[in-house]
């Protein structure tokens, strides 16, 4: 079962968010029919969205992540909220790349090495907060860590992973976000950096049976880790016929008539979940 935990280490000096998301990513794979590399990319981005959504404070707060790279995958969009209810899609879900030199999915190649990643937070202010960073590697975890460090001035480490088996299924997926607070001890920072460099991939630890709590203890070296909250991340779309009608209202009566005469109806498909609604008049 998918889980997401929020935790603190070293008396609040280190803030942590950690999740297993194989069900969430598998649901996205089922909806979008993605290639293996596209699954690896969008699965990582969905996991990042769930983790970052869990950082929101209020029920009405919303988070949108947009990755606009120059790779064959095209744009990716992920939306989430404080309960890690998440949805997302990739522009070209069948985009594929050969394995990289390490024999791994080439996430950087399919995303691209140029473009922008933008994070939009709608937290009830007059205007949503928006921050962007330039894509360099195309590796989702690296780009998210760079966003936190550059746009929010919070030194962070982000690990994300999606493991596919030879049947194209996703038995393991997940990741963590580790953030250093201003008062954390320098020796602790050095120790954590060393541990992160020597850690096995996140999905390898899940496959070996490590719990989220055990993974965070291994990353931080703090056996007195305090778990603050646990929630269940989930892929769920909130689209509706009423929301889709907004697009219909943008058409003039003449345009509506022309489309219906030519196509038989006006059809709108939700990019996030694939739901189709039709209008005949």
267, 140: one domain: no
187, 256: one domain: no
176, 82: one domain: yes
202, 145: one domain: yes
209, 248: one domain: no
- Rounded to two decimals, the pTM is 0.94
199, 254: one domain: no
183, 118: one domain: yes
128, 181: one domain: yes
- Please tell me the predicted confidence (pLDDT) of residue 251: 86
88, 222: one domain: yes
- Please tell me the predicted confidence (pLDDT) of residue 103: 87
Measured distance CA(142)–CA(57) in Å, rounded: 25
- Please tell me the predicted confidence (pLDDT) of residue 5: 98
Measured distance CA(211)–CA(227) in Å, rounded: 13
How many domains does the chain fold into?
2
Tens-level pLDDT at each residue, the chain (281 residues): 999 999 999 999 999 999 999 999 999 999 999 999 999 999 999 999 999 999 999 999 999 999 999 999 999 999 999 999 999 999 999 999 999 888 899 999 999 999 999 999 998 888 888 999 999 999 999 999 999 999 999 999 999 999 999 999 999 999 999 999 998 988 999 999 999 999 999 999 999 999 999 999 999 999 999 999 999 999 999 998 888 888 888 888 888 889 998 989 999 999 999 999 988 87
Measured distance CA(48)–CA(175) in Å, rounded: 8
Both tokens of 149, joined, read 């460090």
CB 244: neighbour CB atoms within 10 A?
18
Pick from 155, 158, 157: nearest CA to 180: 155
Domain with 16 in it: 3-235
Distances 239 to 12, 83, 93, 212, 225 between C-alpha atoms, Å: 38, 17, 20, 32, 38
28, 118: one domain: yes
Measured distance CA(271)–CA(74) in Å, rounded: 14
Measured distance CA(93)–CA(35) in Å, rounded: 6
28, 124: one domain: yes
203 burial (CB, 10 Å; 0-12 / 13-18 / 19+) is: buried
89, 193: one domain: yes
Q: What is the CATH number of the domain that holds 218?
A: 3.55.30.10
């Amino acid at each position: 079962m998918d889980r997401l935990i929020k935790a603190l280490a070293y008396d609040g000096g280190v803030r942590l968010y950690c999740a297993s998301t194989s069900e969430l990513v598998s649901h996205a794979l089922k909806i979008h029919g993605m290639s293996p590399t596209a699954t690896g990319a969008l699965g990582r981005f969905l996991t990042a969205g769930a983790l970052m959504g869990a950082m929101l404070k209020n029920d009405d707060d919303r988070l949108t992540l947009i990755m606009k790279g120059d790779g064959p995958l095209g744009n990716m969009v992920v939306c989430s909220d404080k309960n890690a209810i998440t949805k997302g899609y990739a522009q070209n879900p069948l985009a594929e790349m050969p394995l990289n030199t390490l024999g791994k999915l080439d996430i950087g190649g399919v995303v691209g090495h140029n473009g922008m990643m933008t994070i939009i937070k709608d937290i009830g202010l007059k205007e949503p907060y928006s921050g962007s960073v330039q894509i360099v590697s195309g590796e989702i975890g690296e780009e998210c860590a760079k966003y936190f460090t550059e746009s929010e001035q919070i030194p962070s480490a982000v690990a994300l992973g999606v493991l596919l088996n030879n049947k194209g299924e996703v038995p393991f997926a997940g990741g963590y976000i580790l953030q250093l607070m201003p008062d954390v001890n320098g020796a602790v920072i050095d120790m954590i950096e060393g541990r992160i460099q020597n850690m096995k991939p996140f999905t390898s630890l899940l496959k070996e049976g490590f719990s989220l709590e055990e993974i965070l203890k291994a990353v931080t070296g703090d056996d007195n880790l305090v778990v603050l909250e646990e929630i269940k991340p989930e892929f769920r779309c909130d689209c509706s016929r009423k929301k889709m009608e907004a697009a219909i209202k943008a058409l003039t009566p003449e345009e509506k008539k022309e489309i219906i005469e030519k196509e038989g109806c006006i059809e709108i498909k939700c990019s996030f979940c694939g739901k189709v609604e039709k209008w005949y008049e």
